[in-house]
Chain A
Amino acid sequence: MSIEAQTEGDALIIRVGHDRIDAAGAIGFKERIRDLIPGTERRVIMDLSRVNFLDSSGLGAIVAVMKLLAPARKLELAGLTPTVEKVFRLTRMDSVFTIHPDVARGLGNVG
């Protein structure tokens, strides 16, 4: 699974290298991220700029990661590609996440 985490300042950046987060990959995605987040950073920014496709199972997996982090830490998202952005917007889940255009701007904008 090409998902890597790295600390930058007060934030943990999770870079998702997958082309898609779908029903076939959602459970593995969630488990991989669970292993990556035992740190103490206050913010977690998930970089989705390489993910071109997300279905409702993938969306559910991202919500599950948000709940794993809560209430102590917050999950922010960065770099949504057009189809991913559309799924967040249609389901109105864009209203529950802080969404940054990209990681650099997410780091500069303490959310």
Chain B
Amino acid sequence: MLAEIGVVSVMGCSAAGGSGFALVTMPGDSVSVRAGLERALKSSPLRGLGPDDRGRAEVLLAEVLNNIVEHAYEGCEGEIRLLLRMEAGRLCLVIEDEGLAMPGGQLPSGQLPEAECLPEGGFGWFLIRALASEITYFRRGRTNRLDIVMACEQ
């Protein structure tokens, strides 16, 4: 569970004098996600990023969090927990929710829709896969957990 891992990690880091951790929780709706994203961007792991990496992180997080709202918590309420950590030029994210599991227990393929067909959706997982360097999905009991790494360029 993220709650346990998050607390242990945060304490471990703060004991070591680091400032690269943050835990942000938010209700699983789009207005709360906007506010949660704003808090995440002000947190110590993201505050120090250059503008390009910060923009990439913001898009990546918005897509992951809004997918949870639209699919995992479709039609019901729940909490989203986001743990952010910077390590050696990598932004490491752990995102947990108690919503519906990914279809088939797997990450969506995230194929890019054909631009010529003027698609109004279907870009979310393509963007996540384009911006992340590693993505892992686990389902444990009622909890979905995504571990995502974004390589920072600046």
Contacts and interface: CB of A to CB of B under 8 A. Distances in A.
Interface of A: 20, 22-24, 53, 55-57, 59-61, 63-64, 66-67, 82-83, 86-87, 90-93, 95-96
Interface string B28-43: 0011011000000000
B71 to A, nearest CB: 12
B15 interface: no
B58 A56 contact: no
A96 B59 contact: no
Chain B's interface: helix, strand, loop or mixed, by majority?
Answer: helix
Given A91-B123, A91-B127, A55 B118 contact: no
> Which 9 pairs between the two chains have the least Cβ-Cβ distance?
A83-B55, A56-B123, A60-B120, A24-B30, A55-B62, A23-B66, A23-B30, A56-B124, A92-B115
Interface of B: 30-31, 33-34, 51-52, 55-56, 58-59, 62-63, 66, 69-70, 112-113, 115-116, 118-121, 123-124, 126-127, 130-131
Nearest to B62: A55
